[in-house]
């Protein structure tokens, strides 16, 4: 096993190549490769210039290309928010899969691949004695690890949704509006990242049979099953968050309606005070009661009496 040197500047990794070998299979892991590094890989593994050119920069769309001696696959994954990366952009991983080599290229650190490399080094995953072991088996383990990480992220989202549900029914509807929106954005990011995986993996299945033979057909199908698990969990969480949003909005609306009802009732009960007080404030020469003994108490008593009558009327009409 050999690890190639990395170029460092101000403590940030600019270009990196790591090379691992096991059972006659070589895995080369590139991170933001330079043109010289790509040329080195092209020469060593007979990679076409078109593939080499694409390895230099990120691609906007996933793709599958079949070449004579290898398959070129591009997939995008959502950023893993509970790692060192806190972003909603997509992370690209390029796979060049030959018989006895696997090249991965990424343009920033991808934690599941980093973890896979650690396990690879200590032979926890690939303690494989099968003489038929090839890079297709290595790719299967790697992609399954990536999907396992997505599954863990979706489990974290599910836990967050349950916490949001608890908070909603504790009367914290207003505080949960932003939390629901954040989770909804995360799920949208997952959906956008993985929506084309199904078609890419089906195309990979066809290409893999040509490179690795019919005996390998189980593995692409198994990868597709892993994708379906992720897709179903995204759909389930999306339905969950939609229900929570609707429930939260309903509770918020009910609470706001109750507040408006209380304000309206208060205004309704104090309406006689405004009307009657305004009546007795008219600047006329013969305003009733004004100037007589206890005129203020009489006016206030009339206002209270009318308010009580209105209150009784509201109770009878079940407005309260």
pLDDT, average across residues 190-212 = 92
- φ/ψ of 37, rounded to 5, equals -65, -40
69, 17, 29: which is closest to 46 by C-alpha?
69
Say if CB 189 and CB 269 are below 8 A apart: no
At 223 the pLDDT is: 93
Higher pLDDT, 212 or 2: 212
78, 283, 107: which is closest to 191 by C-alpha?
78
Confidence of residue 84 (pLDDT cuts 50, 70, 90): very low
At 211 the pLDDT is: 92
pLDDT digits (tens, 9 = 90+) for 104-163: 999 888 888 888 888 877 764 555 555 678 899 999 999 999 999 999 999 999 999 999
pTM for this entry: 0.73
**pLDDT at 280 exceeding the cut of 80:** no
At 296 the pLDDT is: 75
Alpha carbons 307 and 316: distance in angstroms, whole number: 14
pLDDT, average across residues 44-58 = 93
Q: How far is CA 40 from CA 30, 127, 169, in A?
A: 12, 29, 60
Say if CB 139 and CB 71 are below 8 A apart: no
pLDDT digits (tens, 9 = 90+) for 89-105: 789 999 999 999 999 99
At 203 the pLDDT is: 94
Mean pLDDT for the chain overall: 83
Confidence of residue 197 (pLDDT cuts 50, 70, 90): very high
- φ/ψ of 74, rounded to 5, equals -120, 125
Q: How far is CA 68 from CA 15, 46, 65, 90, 253, in A?
A: 28, 10, 10, 30, 63
């Amino acid at each position: 096993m050999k690890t190639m040197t990395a170029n460092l500047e101000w403590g940030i990794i600019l270009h990196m190549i790591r090379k691992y070998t096991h059972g006659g299979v070589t895995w080369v892991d590139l991170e933001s490769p330079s043109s010289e590094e790509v040329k080195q890989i092209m020469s060593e593994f007979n990679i076409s210039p078109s593939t080499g050119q694409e390895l230099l920069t990120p691609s906007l769309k996933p793709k599958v290309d079949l070449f004579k001696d290898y398959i070129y696959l591009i997939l995008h994954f959502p950023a893993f928010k509970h790692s060192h990366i806190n972003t909603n952009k997509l992370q690209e991983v390029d796979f060049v899969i030959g018989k006895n080599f696997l090249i991965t290229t990424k343009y920033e650190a991808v934690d599941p691949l980093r973890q896979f490399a650690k396990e690879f080094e200590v032979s926890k995953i690939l303690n494989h004695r099968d003489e038929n072991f090839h890079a297709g088996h290595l790719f299967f383990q790697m992609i399954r690890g990536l999907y396992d990480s997505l599954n863990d992220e979706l489990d974290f989202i599910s836990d967050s949704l349950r916490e949001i549900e608890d908070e909603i029914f504790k009367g914290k509807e207003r505080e949960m509006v932003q939390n629901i929106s954040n989770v909804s954005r995360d799920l949208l990011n997952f959906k956008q990242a993985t929506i084309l995986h199904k078609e890419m993996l089906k195309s990979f299945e066809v290409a893999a049979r040509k490179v690795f033979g019919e005996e390998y057909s189980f593995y692409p199908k198994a990868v597709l099953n892993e994708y379906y698990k992720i897709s179903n969990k995204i759909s389930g969480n999306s339905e969950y968050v939609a229900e929570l949003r609707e429930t939260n909005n309903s509770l918020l609306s009910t609470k706001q309606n109750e507040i408006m009802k209380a304000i309206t009732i208060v205004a309704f009960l104090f309406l006689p005070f405004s009307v009657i007080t305004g009546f007795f404030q008219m600047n006329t020469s013969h305003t009733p009661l004004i100037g007589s003994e206890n005129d203020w108490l009489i006016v206030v008593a009339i206002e209270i009496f009318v308010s009580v009558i209105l209150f009784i009327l509201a109770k009878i009409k079940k407005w309260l």
